[in-house]
Structure 1
Amino acid sequence: MQKNEMVTVTIEDIGVNGEGIGKVDGYTLFIKDAIIGDMVEAKVMKAKKNYGYARLMRIIEPSRERVEEAVCPMARKCGGCQIQEMKYDRQLRFKEDKVRGNLTRIGEVPEKLLAEKMEPIVGMESSEGLEQPFHYRNKAQFPIGTDKEGHVITGFYAGRTHSIIPNTDCALGAKVNEEILKCILAFMEEYRIPAYDETLHRGLVRHVLIRYGFRTKEIMVCLVINGNTLPHGQELAERLSVIEGMTSITLSINKEKTNVIMGNTIKSLWGQTYITDYIGDVKYQISPLSFYQVNPVQTEKLYGMALEYAGLTGDETVWDLYCGIGTISLFLAKKAKQVYGVEIIPQAIEDARNNAKINGIENAEFYVGKAEEVLPQYYADYEREHGGEKAHADVIVVDPPRKGCEESLLQTMVDMQPERIVYVSCDSATLARDVKVLREKGYEIERVRAVDQFPHTVHVETVCLLSRNK
């Protein structure tokens, strides 16, 4: 296969980043924007020995799994929705197959066992008036830039680039986002507030963060700036404050030359520095720096499942590792004897303690630090302080970042001999790797289920219950 060669390909699978996968005379090609069942004409852009990347030139014969028209006109340009052009029921099958495939291939879980233990994926109900779910995200971060004519723009980055695709009406975000963004862009044009240029490290406004409380209808707007103040900031605050539900308008100071979006210093422009929202009957205060699941409808299902898998009766000691602002911890605390949460971000632990307080929960305790350091240290200290007696947990819940758990943490978890480990994962590949380790150390899968937390993207959450072999 040569670069610039034109080929006809039938798409047979989807890659981890949402690219269609097809073969030409045994040679594998990855083709963005093509979906399973499409027959396409594509141009080879990069050719390696055994595989290559091609650009979709035209669809010769569309797949039966393809929607007639994508809801968002920017779907192909934007890097946010990799599989929006695929029918929703097919998206769900793809995600379920992805989890199953990773558990069998990477985790070496026998297919026969998975056939017994894996439950059907939890999809999301369709949006009002649409065949597929949209407008489900309660958080969005919009980069601010300048187009070739010098106008201030916002939108999303094109896939694998930092080129902004102008778009104020994202089909995944809350509908109020467009009104907020148009207000900010008009303000910047009027007062000639410069957008940040990441190449030159000049300009002021870098990003706009918007959070929306689906239950409370409260809105947060946070402008990330390359400076200490926003000229005419009070004028902008006055304009934004009239939007129904506006609760918090803040500035995040980020003067570093970095791809990290948020700065650590938050300054109030108007209102509170947080909004509140609920998952189930648990109330949370959410600040600009808080980690909070972006799809509240599916999060309630996800956490409800984690709680069900934990099998609590009221007598258990539970550890919740990577607890964030205590979202799962507080769910668990209502059914457990005692919950201990661990999170590396001090601000998140502050939020977790405050969230416990506002919910009247007194049986949840929180530690700041890396889970892979805090838990082993606790285990060693307990043994020393209790004359060789081992620390024990009845249930351990773990919800790590994409990289999964370090093996030292998995070993300490096993040493504490919990009856059940509930593993909540945002990356089924690292889940599978860790499940392999836990199965080798005396735990076995009892239940596993995927949850579609992010419709129209390739991402999927998974909840896995492992029980200790007697």
Structure 2
Amino acid sequence: EKVLVPSPFRVQPPCPFHRQCGGCQLQPLSYEKQLEFKQNKIRNNLIRIGGFSPEHIDACMEPIIGMEDPWHYRNKAQFPFGYDKEGNVVTGFYAGRSHNIIANTDCALGVEENKTVLETILAYMKKYGVSAYDETYGKGLIRHVLIRKGFASGQLMACVVINGNKLPEEKTLAEELWKIPGMTSVSVNVNTERTNVILGKKVRVLKGEEKIEDTIGDVVFRISPLSFYQVNPVQTKKLYGQALEYAGLAGEETVWDLYCGIGTISLFLAKKAKKVYGVEIVPEAIADAKENAARNGITNAEFFVGKAEEVLPQKYEEEGVYADVIVVDPPRKGCDEKCLETMVRMRPERIVYVSCDSATLARDLKYLGEMGYEVRKWRGCDMFPGTVHVETVVLMSRKDT
């Protein structure tokens, strides 16, 4: 396969592995055209799946939010370890639609420190004969390495995921990793299950802190290896700023933040609202959210552990807790229908929907549209340059508002 006549929008990809890796599907496309592609993707899904008219969607559309520098933006990466055909230990990313590792320690989307961390671990494994995990047989020790960086703080985290309870010479490894500028947290995560899930539940600190800090806007967050935290901090600030603008808070509103994670959007909203309630199914994330609220002196945010589709009906029907504004930021599968039903019964003036999948977004907006809500504005935010993924923020309000 070869290019006979290149498109005028084709560019030379900086990463030599982008075709095999499959992570950066759009790397050969100019960034301006990537943004156009993503805006069209959202628009087409809203029309085709959501059933909205092209005229209405175009009238509500605001320009997509791009990046000035669309490289080295990821503050988190998870690298699998394995063997090449010659039996050498390698790390990198899985090739598209497979679990074959493309050996590469210098990803164009990740932070520059990733390369140093990975090569330090590879050298340690070679020196002490430490095995990589083989998922076919469930044998071997090192499965993955999770690396995080606080862009504002400069703090680094390295968490080695192991198929066992202990690493040989683990203090030596910790000391070597500690030499990397910014290293704040070195830990191991135990995962002995035969599963594709990367992280287990048990984390043991080898050196430093369990968590690192980062700042979005003027809110400081403490992040553990298990925390969900947006991977592009530069765009996250813009994304949350857009959600806050759409929420239209004047200081007297009660706001629900569903699928709140470690409270990232909740704490942004709390600065402008009377009261914010956050709901998240992961107990560790809610513990982080409470800690983050305390860390920032925010006293008007309250957090609940549980499924949004269970907590929301309970609080509304049994305790009479209402909402002026509801913000949802669900996983890729979108909102549960019971959750959507309760949102409609609570009759908030505005719903702000933040989505990482415009197809499930369109499906949910169709339901809300049939239940008396109307799309007023929508905007794409490019959190993942070089890939086909895109975030969307939508403002809906009651038709009778």
- Normalised by the length of structure 1, the TM-score is 0.84
Give the letter aligned to residue 59 of structure 2.
E
- Secondary structure at the aligned position of 2:19 is classed as coil
The match for 2:80 is 143
**What does 1:344-359 align with in structure 2 at a 5 Å threshold?**
344-359=281-296
Deviation at 1:392, TM superposition (A): 2.0
Unaligned runs of 5+ in 2: none
In the alignment, what sits opposite 2:102?
165
Whichever residue aligns with residue 396 of structure 1, its letter is: I
Pairing 1:431-470 to 2, within 5 Å after superposition:
431-470=361-400
- In the alignment, what sits opposite 1:21? none
Question: Displacement, 1:215?
Answer: 0.6
Counterpart among 19, 36, 43 of residue 76 in structure 1 = 19
Of residues 396, 406, 414 in structure 1, which corresponds to 2:344? Answer: 414
Is 1:281 matched with 2:218? yes
CA distances 1:193-223 after superposition (whole Å, capped 9, x unpaired): 0000000000000000000011100000000
Residue of structure 1 aligned with 2:143, choices 206, 214, 227: 206
Which consecutive unaligned segments of at least 5 residues does structure 1 have?
1-56, 127-132, 384-390
Q: Does 1:393 align with 2:332?
A: no
CA distance in 1, matches of 2:288, 2:168: 30
Equivalent position amino acid for 1:295 in 2: N
Q: Give the structure 2 partner of residue 121 of structure 1.
A: 64
- Matched to 2:397, the amino acid is S
Cα distance in 2 for partners of 1:194, 1:376 equals 49
For the residues of structure 2 that align with 1:277 and 1:251, how far apart are their CA atoms?
A: 21
Q: In structure 2, what is the Cα distance between the partners aligned to 1:76 and 1:96?
A: 23
CA distance in 1, matches of 2:338, 2:231: 30
| Alignment-mate amino acid for residue 378 of structure 2 | V
Counterparts of 2:41 and 2:131 in 1: how far apart (Å)?
Answer: 44
1:193 and 1:121 map into 2 onto residues whose CA distance is: 47
Q: What do the CA deviations read for 1:285-317 (whole angstroms, capped 9, x no partner)?
A: 000000000000000000000000000011000
Matches within 5 A, 1:350-389: 350-383=287-320
| Superposed displacement of residue 84, structure 1 | 0.4
Aligned to 1:58: 2
Q: Could you tell me which amino acid in structure 1 is paired with residue 183 of structure 2?
A: M
Structure 2 residue matching 1:269: 3-state secondary structure: strand
What amino acid maps onto 2:340 in structure 1? L
Matches of 1:150 and 1:392, distance apart in 2: 60
- Equivalent residue in structure 2 for 1:95, among 27, 38, 45: 38
Q: State the alpha-carbon separation in 2 of the partners of residues 314 and 287 from structure 1.
A: 31
Specify the SS of the correspondent of 2:298.
Answer: coil
Mapping for residues 188-203 of structure 1, pairs under 5 Å: 188-203=125-140
Amino acid at match of 1:81: C
Q: Which residue of 1 aligns with 2:359?
A: 429
Structure 2 SS opposite 1:181: helix
Q: CA deviation at 1:407?
A: 1.4
Counterpart of 1:229 (choices 166, 170, 175) is 166
Counterpart residue type for residue 104 of structure 1: I
Structure 2 distance, partners of 1:407, 1:146, is: 44
Distance in 2 between residues matched to 1:261 and 1:392, nearest whole Å: 38
* Superposed counterparts of 1:245-324, under 5 Å: 245-324=182-261
CA distance in 1, matches of 2:89, 2:309: 44
Q: Distance in 2 between matches of 1:406 and 1:260?
A: 22
Equivalents in 1 of 2:208, 2:83: separation in Å? 29
SS at match of 2:236: helix
1:334-345 correspondence runs (5 A): 334-345=271-282
* Distance in 1 of aligned mates of 2:81 and 2:221: 29
SS of equivalent to 2:3: strand
**DSSP 3-state at the match of 2:20:** coil
* Separation of aligned partners in 2, 1:115 and 1:276: 40
- 1: CA distance between counterparts of 2:329 and 2:233? 17
CA displacement 1:358-390 (0-9 Å, x = unmatched):
00000000000011111112222125xxxxxxx
Q: One-letter code of the match for 1:204? A: L
> How far does residue 357 in structure 1 lie from its aligned partner after superposition?
0.3
Deviations 1:103-131 (A, max 9, x none): 011101111111211101001112xxxxx
Structure 1 counterpart SS, 2:140: coil
- What's the secondary structure of 1:59's corresponding residue? coil
For the aligned residue pairs, the C-alpha RMSD in angstroms reads 0.7
Deviation at residue 146 of structure 1 after TM alignment: 1.2
Structure with the largest fraction of helix: 2
- Superposed CA offset, 1:321-371 (max 9, x none): 000000000000000000000000000000000000000000000000011
**Partner of 1:76: helix, strand, or coil?**
helix
The C-alpha deviation readout for 1:245-293, integer Å capped at 9, x for no partner, is 0000000000000000001000000000010000100000000000000
Structure 1 runs of 4+ with >6 Å offset: none
Q: Is the partner of 1:342 in helix, strand or coil?
A: strand
Determine if the alignment matches structure 1 residue 112 to structure 2 residue 112.
no
SS at match of 2:317: helix
The amino acid of 1:436's aligned partner reads K
Aligned residues between the structures: 400
Distance, in Å, in 2 between the alignment partners of 1:59 and 1:104 is 33
* 1:422 alignment partner AA: V
In 1, the alpha carbon distance for the partners of 2:123 and 2:235 equals 35
Larger radius of gyration: 1
SS of 1:252's partner is strand
- Find the aligned partners of 2:77 and 2:395 in 1 and give their Cα distance: 31
